[in-house]
Structure 1
Amino acid sequence: MIPIAGMGASVGLTLSTATRERQMALIETGAMQSREIEAFRSRIDDIQTVDQLIADPEVYRFVMKAHDLEDQIFGKAMIRKILQSDDSEPGALINRMTDPRFEALYDGLGFTEGGTVNENTKDPAWIEGLVDRYVEQAFINDAAAQNEAVGQALTFRRDAASVRSWYDVLGNPALSRVLRGALGIPEAVAGIDLDRQVEMFAGKMDLSDLKDPREVESILRRYTALTDAKSGAAAASSAAVQLMAGAQASASGNWTPRLLDISAIDVSVLSGASAYRR
């Protein structure tokens, strides 16, 4: 993967965005990921119930990773109860979960009849959609491991359009943190009453803006710029910018900028080099 550790958030996000497709292609063909993808593709159509999913460790792990729930893999009893829930019942476990990842898992898998029926697992389009989600989540996780602000920005870009209420925003750490940063809301606000937080967000922007890709990108530009300003990663002095925009002295003593064409980056070369830079 392309190393972005130590870069400012603005530069890191720009580089990650420009190389996203090539990085995801590398992930999909990686040794571990390709084995997990093949295991999922070859066995998912045999799974019709929640019990069958839990009983297949490789497919179960794949599904959990795709929904960014790798930290919950060992909570099989809870996952079983969630997936067997009936969301039409107000007291169902799925309706009591505050972590939006569980709702995404529940909705994405689509088990019905108490977890005994699934019409998705034989649908090729659904299968490939989950493979794409797995690869994209691996891409985001790698970015986040190197540069937390970039990982949050990528998650925001992916999840923003699915928001239905301000409470969805508050329940998603990446969404809420990016918006607090972009809108100038102090981090300490995260600890106050939820209704008051909703009032503060609603007073600064319309929720519908999150469904507008142009507004989402505008929010991300503000978030990364302000994050860099707070961390001291100013563009003029950023080590990342030194990498991306070098300078060469001419005979007259003037400096001529050299700009790096991001589209020309050979991702495979940078991926290999990253092992020596971390």
Structure 2
Amino acid sequence: MTFQPVVPFSGYTGWRFLERTLEKQQTAFNESVPVKRATDYFRDTIGTIQTAEDLMKDRRLLTVALGAFGLDDDVNNTFFIRKVLEDGTISDDALANRLADQRYREFSRAFGFGGEELVRTGLATFAETIIDRFEARQFERAVGEQDNNLRIALNLSTALNDITTQNQSDNARWFAIMGSPPVRQIFEGALGLPSSIARIDLDQQLDTFKRRANATFGTDAVGDLQARDAQEKLIRLFLVRSQIETGTAFNGNSIALTLLRGG
């Protein structure tokens, strides 16, 4: 039987509940039969995979590999995924580097099948690294079946860490945020930006995101926004403003107090 996360509330109240119960809920989810069957097989088998073609031939392995990066819906797009992996990330014209969604670059880099890179599937720590990500992303996906805003909030810490690790300059980090749909959604919501901002020039978008971040957090340095208190404020603003837009959960006075007091 599949473990269903307990999410009794929506919005920021739901987030605070998830924070308090996350460790126990994640452990129960990891031990559920479907998840454990998938991770045990990955752990036992991934070391035998040396090429992207090998991975495409094993749907069970591919499901875990893609699921670890939130790319579950691409499990049938094997030609596309093989190209992403075989191109690697070293060359500027590699497919992963040309895609707006930064998750493909993270995925390709993690496996290292692109010719210039080290194939990582045989490394001692590789299986557990991917399994940890898979379990976290699949728990988030299960939460998302009840509240998608909570799903992307759960992913924020991992996503920001990937972005800061893989991009050295601050502008590059902001472009990566803008190119990651779930992270962008949180920042747009927290900074009070409309989704229509995506239609303006990229440099103008960058300037707008940085100015709003400075006004809201007192900094536009992405590294500073990785701090625990900054992430919590990002999530709180995102969730509470989402509730304002949908008119759910709180009345106007309690929403205002939540914004002012920090929950």
For normalisation by structure 1, the TM-score amounts to: 0.77
Residue equivalent to 2:125: 125
Q: Distance in 2 between matches of 1:187 and 1:77?
A: 31
CA deviations over 1:64-122 (Å, ceiling 9, x no partner): 1112111111111111111111433222222212211211111111224268x62x223
Is residue 84–residue 112 contact of structure 1 (8 Å, CA) maintained in 2? yes
Q: Distance in 2 between matches of 1:112 and 1:183?
A: 37
Q: Secondary structure at the match of 1:19?
A: helix
CA deviations over 1:25-61 (Å, ceiling 9, x no partner): 1221111111111111111111122221112221122
Residue equivalent to 2:230: 215
Residue equivalent to 1:89: 91
Instruction: Flag the structure with larger Rg.
Output: 1
Q: Distance in 2 between matches of 1:86 and 1:71?
A: 20
Q: CA deviation at 1:228?
A: 2.2
Query: Does 1:169 pair with 2:172?
Result: no
Q: Distance in 2 between matches of 1:3 and 1:61?
A: 25
Residue equivalent to 1:148: 148
Query: Does 1:203 pair with 2:218?
Result: no
Residue equivalent to 2:7: 4
Change over 3 Å in CA distance of 1:2–1:55 after alignment to 2: closer
RMSD: 2.1
Q: CA deviation at 1:185?
A: 1.5
Q: Distance in 1 between matches of 2:59 and 2:95?
A: 23
Residue equivalent to 1:104: 106
- For 2:36, which of 26, 30, 34 is the aligned residue? 34
- For 2:242, which of 221, 224, 227 is the aligned residue? 227
Q: Kindly provide the amino acid, as one letter, of the partner of residue 141 in structure 2.
A: N
Q: Distance in 2 between matches of 1:129 and 1:140?
A: 17
Q: Distance in 1 between matches of 2:76 and 2:46?
A: 20
Is residue 89–residue 109 contact of structure 2 (8 Å, CA) maintained in 1? no
Residue equivalent to 1:189: 197
Change over 3 Å in CA distance of 1:108–1:11 after alignment to 2: same
For normalisation by structure 2, the TM-score amounts to: 0.81
Residue equivalent to 2:217: none
Q: CA deviation at 1:130?
A: 0.9
Q: CA deviation at 1:125?
A: 2.0
- For 1:54, which of 45, 53, 56 is the aligned residue? 56
